[in-house]
Structure 1
Amino acid sequence: MGSLPDLSILKGEKRNLEKRKLHALFEERLQTVSNNNDIAIIYKENNNSTLTYGQLNETSNKVARSILKQVVGDHALANNDGDYIVAVSMLPSDKLIVTLLAIWKCGAAYLPLDPTFPEQRIKHILKESKPVLVIHDDTVDANYFNANQAISYNKLMDESDNQSESNVPEIESLTQTTENLAIVLYTSGSTGIPKGVRLPHDIILNRLQWQFNEFPYSKTEKICIFKTALTFVDSVCEIWGPLLNGLTLLVIPKHITRDPQKLVDELSTYKIERLVLVPSLLRSLLMYLSLNNNTSALRNLKLWVSSGEPLAVSLAKEFFQYFSAKDGHVLCNFYGSTEVMGDVTYYSIKGDESLEGFEKVPIGYPVDNTIIYLLDQDLRPVSNDESGELWVSGCNLAAGYVNGRDPDRFIANPLAESSAYSRIYRTGDFAKIYKGTLFYEGRTDSQIKIRGHRVDLSEVEKSVLAIDGIDKGVVLCYKAGEMDQALLAFVTSEPTSKMTGLKVESLLQDKLATYMIPQVIILDNIPLLVNGKVDRQSLLKMYENTNNNDDSSIILDIDYTNIPKSKMTAAEVLFHTVGSVIGRSTRNTLSVKSNYYELGGNSLNSIYTITQLKKQGYLIGITDFIMAKNLGEVLNKMCSDDNQSQINMEAANYVSETLNNEHKKDGLSMIVSSFYEKADLEHWLKPEIKECDYNDLLNDTWKILVDKGLSFIVRDQNSKPIAIALNVDVRDEADITIEAENALVIIFEFLEHVEGSVREQHLPQEKGKIVHSFMMATHQELTAQENIAVIQFMEEELVQIAKKKGYIGIFTTNTSPLTQQLGSDILGYETLLDYQVNQFVSSTGRTPFAKAPDSQRALVCLKKFS
C-alpha cells in the first residue's frame, strides 16, 4: 500500500498581530521617547534640509488639518469602494514624507502619481479611483489633473500656518471603509488597463512586523535610505520601517540611483547597512565596484535584498565573490507582488553553500501569518514533486482592486483552516516545492518584470495597436530577466501608411511609462503557426539572428563625419564597443551626435560599456559617461590627456570677493555640504558628528576670519556663490574653543597631531610668512569638472592674495584623494608628511578612524612661491 503524497502547502509562522493604523503607532512612539529632536529625514537636494521627529509630526498635523479643510469644504465624497483617497504627484523629498503622513493622519489613503506618467495613464487612474484631492509639486501644472480638485504642496503649507500642531483626533478624521485603507498602488493590468491595488494598514503592519522580527535593525544602524519610486510597493517598507523605529531616513533622488558612482558614495558616506534593489541594479553596482577595484566600498552594507525580478544563481555567486559571508554579508531573494504587500516569501543566501545543487535561486518560505498553496486547475493542492499555480492566503493580502476589478483574483479560500485565511489570491505564477523550499517556475500569463516594474505585454500591445496606421502587431519579451532583455513590438502597417519604428516609439511616449516603451520592428507580415496563432518563437529567433551581439559579422550603421584623424582610432573603438553592447536595441546611426540612451542604452549596459572601453585602454569616469550629451563628448573625454584647457576656460568665468559678514549664510551652507556630507575624515565619525557642529564652530570664528582679510568666496558668471576659502596666518591662528560634545574636537585634534611637528620643524617662526589654508568648500551642485576648475581658481587666487601681502608660501593638509592629486600633480605642493589615517589615537585612547582603509592618507603639504 503506497503512502499519501506530501501536498504543496507552506505555512509561515503564526504571530499575534495587533491591528493598528501606522500613523497611530508613529504618534505613540513619539509619546514614549524623551527626545523628539532626533533627525527623522535628511534631504540633501534642498540645501541639506533635515526634519526632526518632532518637526515631522507637528508639520504633518498642520498639513493634515489643511487637507481636511479642503476636502470637507468641497463636500467631497468617498469613491465607489467607500475610500477617501488623496493622490500625490511629488518628487522624492522631505515634503513628500510630510504629505504622506498628513494624508494618513486625516483619515485618507495616499495614491502616488508619478510626475513622468503619460497624461492618458493619469486620466484613467484619476477617473477610476476618484481621489478627493490631488497634491502636487509647484513644478507640475494643475491642469494636468483635469477636473480633479488639486493644490500645490506650498499652497497647502501656506494655508496650514494657523492650524494646530497637535495630533488629529480620530473623531475629526475622515471615515474609511472597514478595511482601513492606507495606500492605493496602480499596476499593469491583465486586461491591458492599469488597476489599483488597495492596501490596508493591517497588511502593511504584518509585512513590517515580520521584517522587524526576521531582519531587525542593528544597534549600529542609524540611517536608512528611501530611493524606490513611490509607485513601487518596495517604497512602503523603505519609508515606514525606519520611521516607526526612530531611525533617520535619507531621501535619495532618482538622479543618484541612476549613477552607480554617486549611489555608492551615498551608501558609503552614511554607512547604510541594508539595501533593497532589483537584480539589474545589483549587477550594475557589482560591475561598478569591479571596474574601480574598490575593495573597501560598501563593507557596512550587510543586508542586500533582491526583489522585483528573478535572481540568477550566477549573479548571486558573483555577489559573494566580492562580499564575504564570513563578514556578515547576506543576500536575500524576496518574492511577491503589490497584491501581497510586495514580499510574501523569502530566501536568505549566506554564501555559495546556500546555493549548492540549485539551478535556480529559491524564493524560499512564506512570511508570518501567510500560507502558500500550489494548486491545480481544480484548486486542489499538487504533490511536492509537481509544479502548481501559486496562491496566497493570510495577513499579507490586499483588500482587492479599485472598483472591484478582476474579482477572480481574490476569491473565497476553499482550503481555509480559519477565518484569518478566508480569502486567497491568485498570483498567476507557477512554482514548485523541492526539499521544503519554494522555487519560481514562471508566469501563467503575459506579465513580465522590467527594472522591478510589473509590465503586462497585453497593455503594451493594446497601446501599439491603437496607433493610427498600425494594422497588426504582437508584443514579446526577449530574454526576460537577463542583462540584454528587450521589450519588442513586431507590427505591420497599413498599405498607405509611411510608419517607421521610431515614429511608433515616439507616439507611445504619450501613452506608456518610459520603461514600457518597446523597440518597434516593422514587418511585411507576422508569421503564423498552422493553427493560425502567432509564431512567437520564429519572431524572437528572427530578432536574435538579425541583431546578434555575439556575431562578429554584425553590420553597424556608423557615421564618422567630423571626426579628426587624431581621434579616429578612439572613435572606432567607441562606436564598435557601443554597437556590440547595445546592438540588439540600437535605434539609429552611430555618430558623434548620437545619445547613448536614445540609441537604446541603459544604466546597466553603460557600466558594461565603460568596462569594455577600459579593457581597450580608454579610461573615462562613470559620471562623465553618464552625463555626456552625446558620443562626441564621450570621445573627447577618451582622448583628453588632462582637463587643463577646460579648467582654464571655466576659471575665466569666476570672480572672488574678500570674506565679509554678508557671506556667512552661503558660506556656512557650502562648508556643511562639503565637509559634513563628503569629507573623508568626517565620514568615519557619523552619526556622532552633526551639521550644527560646523555652525557652532564658525559662528565663533567668523569675525576673526573676516578681520584677517585672507579668506574669500567665489562667484560664478551669474553672481551665485559657488565656493569659499578660509585662510589664516599659520603663526596667527585664532584660539578656537570647541565644546566637548562637538565631534569636531576629534578632527581638530587629529589635524594638530599631523601638523604640529611639521609646523615647528619646517615653517618660519615669524608671522607674515606662511598662509594656512584650512578649509575650502564648493557648492554641492557643481559637476566634477566644475569642482576641479573652482578648486584651481581658489588656489591661484590665494597665491595672488598671499603674494600681495608679502607671504612666501601656503601650508595645508589634504585628506581627499582629489585635492591630493591636484596638489601634487598640478598645483605644485611638496608633501612634508604622509600619514596613515587609521593609525591615529586620540588623547582619550580612542581610534576614531580605525575603520578607514590603509590607503586613506593625510598629506601635510607646503607650496613655496618662486
Structure 2
Amino acid sequence: MEYSNQGKSALQGPTKKFPSTTVIQYFQLGLTNGRIEPNNLAVVDGEKQLTFQQLDDISTKIANVISEAVRDTSNHNPDGDCVIGVCIEPSDRLIAILFGILKAGAAYVPFDISFPKNRIGKMVSDCRPLLVICDGKRNILAKFDSVTNLTKVLRTDELYKKMETIESNEANDGNKGENETAIVMYTSGSSGEPKGVRLSHKATLNRLEWQWDKFPFAPSEKCVFKTALTFGDAIAEIFGPLLQGFPVIVFDKTVASQPPLLMQKLHAYDITRVVVVPSMLKAIFQTIEIVGKDEGRKLLSSVRLWVCSGEALSYNLLKEFFENFPENFTLCNFYGSTELTADVTFVSFTTLQDVELKVLEKKHVEQGQTGEVFVAGCNLAKGYVGISDSDKFLDNPFDKASGVILFLDFAKLFRTGDFGSLALLPNGEPAIMYAGRMDSQIKVRAQRVDLSEIELAISGLESVSKVKVLCHHPGESDQTIIAYIVINPSHATVDKLTQEINEILREHERPVIRFLDEIPLLPVNGKTDRQRLLNLFAAEQETREEFDDWSSLAISEEELPIAKSLFNIISAVTLTSFHTIAENLDDSFFNIGGSSLNAVVVIVKLRDIGYFISIPDFTSAQTIREILSRISPKEIEPGTENQENKEYSVSPLTEKDKNDAVHIISYSFARKGDLEAYVNVPYKDFAYMIKSIWQSIVEKQLSFIVRSAINGEPVGVGLNFDIFDEPVQWKSKSFGKSMKLQFAPKMAYKMGSKIAYNSLKLGVVESQQKSMLPQGKGKLLHTFMLGVSENVDDSEKVLLIELMEEQNLLIAKENKFEGVFTTNSNPLTQQIGRDLHGYETLNEYQVNKYVAPDGAKPFELAPDSFKIICCWKNLITAL
C-alpha cells in the first residue's frame, strides 16, 4: 500500500495486470488450460449435482434457447444493454441459467421472489429486459402479469423442454468485451426507489481476481451459495469458486436465515469459507452459547475463512470471534456497496487492487480529519440504468490536476455516503477508519446525533443481548429515535435497563425503547429487517392516530366495517401499517408480508370476530380488495365453501403414481421438512423407505394423490394407514436391516454415518392411554405423511394442505373410522388442523428437549418454539 500522490487523504491499492476478458471467456479458458477439471464436481443442490463439463454443456444449450427466444425482440434498454431477468429460487438450475445468459452475450438482472409486484414492475420498466426467466410457481408468475407488454416471460420448465430440441452445442458471449455490462443489480438507494447498477465484466473479474490472489483456494475447498442473488455478495459466492474450478453447494433460504440450520449444513458439507453479515455472526455465537462451545466449534470447524460484509463489524463481535476461534481461522471485514461490485476494502479498510479511496470535504482533508469517502478504480460500476448524470458518479478532478488523467480507470469517483478518516494502523500501513453513514446522522434540537453511536453505546450494556436503533420520520415534526432491544434476562430488568440507558446517553439522544424477543432479519441476506421494525412502530402510532382516509379507497359503506377489521388483522399479523395495506389494496396479500402460515391466522382471526372466508377464496384472491369482497358474515352460508374444487383432481394412489408420490414425499421431508432440516436425512433415505412400504400403501387404499386439473401434474400426496394395521417393518438402506415402521422420519437424526429414526412412539402410546383413543383395527386413521410439490407457491400450499386435510377426513368417514390421529411438526398443518378442523391436542413435545435412547440430543439447536403435536379428531362426536 502507498499513499496517493494526490494528497494525504487518499488511499490507493496496488495496480495489477489482468487479462482483458469476460466472465465466460475466463471460464472457458479454464476448461482448456487445466485450471478447471471438467469432470470435477461444480454444483451440488441436495441430491442434484453438476460437473463442470455438464455445467458448460447445459449453459450452452440455455444460451441457444435464450438467443432464439429474443432473436426478433426489439431492445428498449435505455443504455443499449441486452438484459435478461431471472426470478428463480437458489438451485443448480439458477446457476446454469446465469452462465447461459452470459454465454448468450447478455447481462442478467435478478428479481427476488419476495419482491412485491410494484417493485418488479418498476424494475422491468426501468431496464426493459428482453426476457425474464422465472420459476413456474403461480405467485411468481403473477408478479409479472402487469409487465407482459414490456417483456417476455419464460418458465424454467419451458426453457429446459426447449433445450431438448436444440441441435447446436456452440455458443459464445457474442464477442463481448470486458467493458460490456455483465450484471444489472438493483438497490433501493437512499431515496427508496430502486436503481439499477450496471456492473461490467471487468469490474466483476477485478473483484474476483483480487480475492483469488489474497485468499487463494486450498485443495478440496468447498464453498456455499446462500446469499440472495439480488445482493453483491452472491457474485463472489457463485463465480469466485466456479471460475477457479472449486464446487459450490447451494443452500436454500430457510437454511441461510436460521443460524442453527446454517451451522448444521456448514458442518454436513464441510464448507470451508462463508460470507455472513455481522448480525448473523452474532446469532451464530448466541447459538454456540446454547449448545456449548465444544459442540459449536465442532459444527463450524471446517469453516476456515469468514467474511463479514453488509453491516458494521463491531469490536465486541470481533473479540467474540477470536474467543470462539483463537487460532487457524481468518475473519475478514469487507466494505463496499453494489455500485462498487460489493467490496472495495478488506480487514480494517485496507484497499483492494486497482482501487483508490479518497476522503473529501469539498477538497482533500488532512490525515485524521473526517470527511466523506469517495472511491475510484476498476471495481466501479458503469453507472445507473438510464441515468447519465447521477450525483453519485462524478468526474475525478484529482486525477486531472496536471491536465492528464493518470489512470483511465480512475476517471470517475463514486460517492459512498459514508464518513471516514485516514489513519495509520499499528503496522504503519494507512487505512480509512469508518465514521458512520451520512443517512444515520440526524439533527435533534439543532444538535447532530449519530444513530450508530447510540446503538454502539446501548450494545455495550450487559443487560442487552441485541439492539437496533432507527429513526421514525427523520427531519419531520414527529421524528422519533427508537431502540429495539432484545434483553439479556440473566442481567436485566426493564426498569434497570432504562436507568442504564439514561445514564450513558444525553437527554436529546435517548430513544424510545421497545423490547422484542428477537430482532427480525431479512430472509434474502440475513441483515436486520429495518423496514419491518419501522413498520412495527408506524403501526403502533396508527393505533393512536386512526387511519381516516377510507374514502380514497373506493370501499362501499357496506364493506367498510369488514375492511377496518381486515386491515387491523393483517396489520397485526404481518406487522404492516394501515397506510401500506391501503397503498397495496390492489396487490396480493402475499406481496406485503403474507405467507402460507399467517394466511391461516388471518382467516381464523376473522372467524373469531364473526367474518368468514374459506381458504380457497382467500388464497385464490389476486388482491386484498378481492379478499375483502369475498368475506361474508359468519351466519351467511358462503356459496363457494362446499362447491367441488375445479382446480385439482384427487384419486387413490395406484402403481402408476409411484414415482410421483415417492418424489413429492421425499422432497417435502428431505428438502422442506421443518424438523428434518436439522438432521440432514437425505432424499434417498426417504425414497427408499416409501418404496419399501409401497405395496402396502397401494393395497390399503387409504392414500391419495392430488393432480392439477389443468395439466395433470402431481401437486400433493397424502399417505394414510389404519394405525392398528400398519406395515410391521421396512428395510432400512442405512442400517442394512429391517426396522419398525413406527421409527419413520418424523423424528430423524444423524449420528456419524448412522441414520436412526424415532417418531416418539412412547408419546403416541401415552396419548392413547391418557385420552382413551379408540382401540383396535378399523377404529383410528393415522395421517402418516403429507407432501406438496416443490413447484407449489405459498398461496397454493395453503389451499392444497386444506384440501388434503379435508380428504383425510373424507377417507376416514367413508371407511367408518371413529377418529383421525396425527403427529405433526409443521406449523401450517398444525394451525389448519387445530383452528379450522377442530383437532384436539393430546400432547405437545418441545423438540430441543428430546433425548434419544442413547442419550444424544439430535435437535438441541432447534428453537424453543419448535413443537411436535400429537392430536386427533373425534368423528363420532363430530357427527
Which of the numbers 61, 84, 95 marks the counterpart of 1:86? Answer: 84
Matches within 5 A, 1:335-414: 335-347=335-347, 362=348, 364-378=349-363, 380=364, 382-414=365-397
**Structure 1 runs not aligned, ≥5 long:** 348-361, 449-456, 458-474, 492-533, 556-575, 602-624, 634-656, 735-743, 753-770, 797-803, 805-817, 837-866
CA gap of 1:480–1:201, structure 2 versus 1, over 3 A, is farther
Q: Report the equivalent of 1:58.
A: 57
Q: Report the equivalent of 2:717.
A: 720
Matches within 5 A, 1:116-265: 116-139=114-137, 140-141=141-142, 142-153=144-155, 154-164=157-167, 166-170=169-173, 173=174, 179-222=179-222, 224-265=223-264
Note if 1:441 corresponds to 2:435: yes
**3-state SS of 1:206 partner:** helix
Q: Distance in 1 between matches of 2:148 and 2:238?
A: 30
CA gap of 1:151–1:827, structure 2 versus 1, over 3 A, is closer
Contact 1:185/1:232 (<8 A) preserved: yes
CA gap of 1:281–1:14, structure 2 versus 1, over 3 A, is same
Q: Distance in 2 between matches of 1:297 and 1:241?
A: 24
Q: Deviations over 1:1-43 (max 9, x none)?
A: xxx9981222212221112111222223334459634332233
Q: Deviations over 1:419-457 (max 9, x none)?
A: 34232222222211221222111233x379xxxxxxxx9
Q: Report the equivalent of 1:356.
A: none
Q: Deviations over 1:371-394 (max 9, x none)?
A: 22222303x3x2222122212122
CA gap of 1:314–1:68, structure 2 versus 1, over 3 A, is same
Contact 2:573/2:598 (<8 A) preserved: no
Q: Distance in 2 between matches of 1:594 and 1:535?
A: 27
Shift of 1:79: 2.3
CA gap of 1:490–1:693, structure 2 versus 1, over 3 A, is closer
**Structure 2 runs not aligned, ≥5 long:** 400-405, 425-429, 443-448, 460-465, 499-513, 521-532, 544-568, 578-596, 606-651, 707-715, 750-756, 767-776, 778-824, 826-844, 858-879
Q: Report the equivalent of 1:319.
A: 321
Aligned length: 602
Q: Distance in 2 between matches of 1:546 and 1:219?
A: 43
Shift of 1:727: 8.9
Q: Deviations over 1:811-850 (max 9, x none)?
A: xxxxxxx9xxx9xx99999x7x9999xxxxxxxxxxxxxx
Q: Deviations over 1:566-604 (max 9, x none)?
A: xxxxxxxxxx98579899956569xxx999974599xxx
Moved more, 18-27 or 334-343: 18-27
Q: Distance in 1 between matches of 2:26 and 2:129?
A: 25
Q: Deviations over 1:527-549 (max 9, x none)?
A: xxxxxxx478x9436x5699999
Q: Distance in 1 between matches of 2:122 and 2:233?
A: 23
Matches within 5 A, 1:470-619: 483-485=466-468, 487-490=470-473, 534=475, 539-540=479-480, 551-552=494-495, 585=536, 587=539, 598=574
Q: Distance in 2 between matches of 1:480 and 1:289?
A: 24
Q: Distance in 2 between matches of 1:414 and 1:90?
A: 42
Shift of 1:401: 1.4
CA gap of 1:432–1:553, structure 2 versus 1, over 3 A, is closer
Q: Deviations over 1:169-199 (max 9, x none)?
A: 45xx3x7687211001111234553221110
Q: Give the structure-1-normalised TM-score.
A: 0.57
Q: Report the equivalent of 1:508.
A: none
Q: Distance in 2 between matches of 1:267 and 1:659?
A: 39
Q: Report the equivalent of 1:423.
A: 412
Q: Distance in 1 between matches of 2:373 and 2:246?
A: 36
Q: Distance in 2 between matches of 1:13 and 1:235?
A: 25
Q: Distance in 1 between matches of 2:85 and 2:494?
A: 49
| Aligned partner letter, 1:64 | A
**3-state SS of 1:336 partner:** coil
**3-state SS of 1:316 partner:** helix
Q: Deviations over 1:139-193 (max 9, x none)?
A: 22241424222222322222332213624045xx3x7687211001111234553
Contact 1:661/1:706 (<8 A) preserved: no
**3-state SS of 1:207 partner:** helix
**3-state SS of 1:310 partner:** coil
Q: Deviations over 1:205-258 (max 9, x none)?
A: 011111111122222423x21111111111111111122122222222222222
Q: Distance in 1 between matches of 2:719 and 2:55?
A: 30
**3-state SS of 2:372 partner:** strand
**3-state SS of 1:373 partner:** strand
Note if 1:299 corresponds to 2:297: no
Q: Distance in 2 between matches of 1:828 and 1:580?
A: 27
CA gap of 1:598–1:126, structure 2 versus 1, over 3 A, is closer
Q: Report the equivalent of 1:606.
A: none
Contact 1:670/1:780 (<8 A) preserved: no
Contact 1:712/1:726 (<8 A) preserved: no
Contact 1:277/1:305 (<8 A) preserved: yes
Q: Distance in 2 between matches of 1:661 and 1:304?
A: 49
CA gap of 1:64–1:626, structure 2 versus 1, over 3 A, is same
Q: Report the equivalent of 2:30.
A: 29
Q: Distance in 2 between matches of 1:124 and 1:297?
A: 43
| Aligned partner letter, 1:398 | A
RMSD: 5.7
Contact 2:83/2:107 (<8 A) preserved: yes
| Aligned partner letter, 1:130 | R
**3-state SS of 2:56 partner:** helix
Contact 1:59/1:98 (<8 A) preserved: yes
